[in-house]
Chains A and B, each alone.
Chain A
Amino acid sequence: MPESGSNRVPETGAFFQRDRTWHPPALTPGYKSSVLRSPRKALLSFDNTLSEISGPVFGHAMLGELDNDLIHNFARPGESAVGERIIVNGRVIDERGVGVPGVLLEFWQANAGGRYRHKKDGYLAPLDPNFGGCGRTLSGEDGGYAFRTVKPGPYPWPNGPNDWRPAHIHFSVFGHGFAQRLITQMYFEGDPLIWKCPIVRGIADKAAIEALTAVLDTQATIPMDALAYKFDIVLRGRRSSLFENRLEGN
């Protein structure tokens, strides 16, 4: 058994089913590239087997000192990225409200002007020589995590003739089981572009969109240094163990 990054006894129950009316559906025609990339046939449903209940774990040994500091992890010595300095912090919890410790979070984003360091991004806003745009960390014993970055800018994209993405940070999160695997995007409180974005509007429920909107967190700011936003991530909860006396779990 690998190092789990946590002292908690591993749970082995099946995960709560996903509410696919809460998530965006596969086909959201306002987001044009979903049209040819969405399955047309129904998904095959089955309760989790060990293949979905188990999942990889990642240890602290893989992390570098600056992995959770996007202001400095690509910058030249003594320099730092340009932009609004922020701390993003929150907890990874499951649907039962329980912290999910020892899980890998990865983030990526554009720079303060909305430009990605990627050869497919041809936006005329310039690259920042001191900003790469990737970071990662592991959640702590209570599921808490934090990283430091600059606030990304909005950017135009070729969907409608005048579509702009709201400022956002992409998140990739592992849970304790592969069935909890999730990629999502974090938006910023008060951004008027959120409600116009076809990717955001693929989500039907306003409350679900609000669940992806980080709130200004003045208590976590560092005075004279960085503002802070709070963003909690909720992963699927799980039933009690498959391998205890009830074969089916409960």
Chain B
Amino acid sequence: MIKLLNQRSLVNILSKNNVLPSSRLLLNKKFHASASISAESPPPAEGFHPGVAHSQFIKKNRDEALRNPELIGTGVEHGETKKLNLFQSVNDAMSIALATDEKSVVFGEDVAFGGVFRATMGLAETFGKDRVFNTPLTEQGIAGFAIGMAAMGHTAIAEMQFADYIFPAFDQIVNEAAKYRYRSGGIFDVGGLTFRSPCSAVGHGGLYHSQSPEAFFPHASGLKVVMPRSPIQAKGLLLASIRDRNPVIFFEPKILYRAAVEHVPVGDYELPLGKAEVLKSGKDVTILGWGSQIYALENAIQIAEEKFPGLSCELIDLRTIFPWDVETVVNSVNKTGRLVIAHEAPKTMGFAAEIASTVQEECFLRLEAPIQRVCGYDTPFPLVFEKFYVPDMHRCFEAIKNAVTY
């Protein structure tokens, strides 16, 4: 069952594949700096290398890809698959959205030439520069413009180049997009609106190319927040987000853009929003995460189950941060009696806090240990200290250990 991951580490994959492109703030110099940091890092302990490429949740062939019960009835369950990384699957989803909805448009900073992460490659050539276009460099403008288009009944797929730069648009997102339907009594809405944005750690992103701002948005009632963990998930959840009749913020863990490669159904399919996915069944402890954190948790579980023979962990990918799937999580914790939640964002007011308090309300009599939160620290996201900052597999393992030995 336990697989020793002795191939390239994720850090090496990243530095070789140059995952983080040159952005307006990040100079190429920093890639080299990062490579040297990784070379000086201690070897992964316990014989484990964290690596999405070797994850058991990555679908390595057509059969595995199509075995997903959520695909039944979508029309792709007997179709073809192709090997895509996460940026290619995002591109594929947008390509389908543009082809199936003539009122859909894709825009943002530098999207016309393909985007700084290549997610919009070829779309302008295929669908025309009126439907896939660059905007001036203004996040509040992009957000306002998208809201205006969506208010006219169009499907606006707008990109924020990094989630770190979504804050200039915070007012438009929180005061306008989120409240558009409510305040008008339902006569107007911006349901056709989706913001896509690369998020989370990337090895060397420093303060402003690493943030996971998902917890800022659920507090503004009216928004949906989604974060996929893999190419299959990204395509299905993005198509669902684009077609959902509510404004959705779709965060794409940029570390997975090239690193996560799996067989993805070629057809048009959606995965349900608001629905968590149980990735691994277990009976002793529930482990909850989302985005790229899933892979750190997967490895932590492998360590834990090796160290504690007979231990059985249940792993859940929340997928939709908000509105979140309370039922799936509560059912799981009522079964296991223990909960570990991990996310990269800082701990205080992170989304784990919301989940922990809800689970405490719903599962009080079943909880056998304090709910463990493994998160980023309450500091800005640091450059050179990243390895100490992120809730890596070792910190996640420690939290699982604390939960099961309490």
A binds B: no
Chain A residues proximal to chain B, CB less than 8 Å? none
Chain B residues proximal to chain A, CB less than 8 Å? none
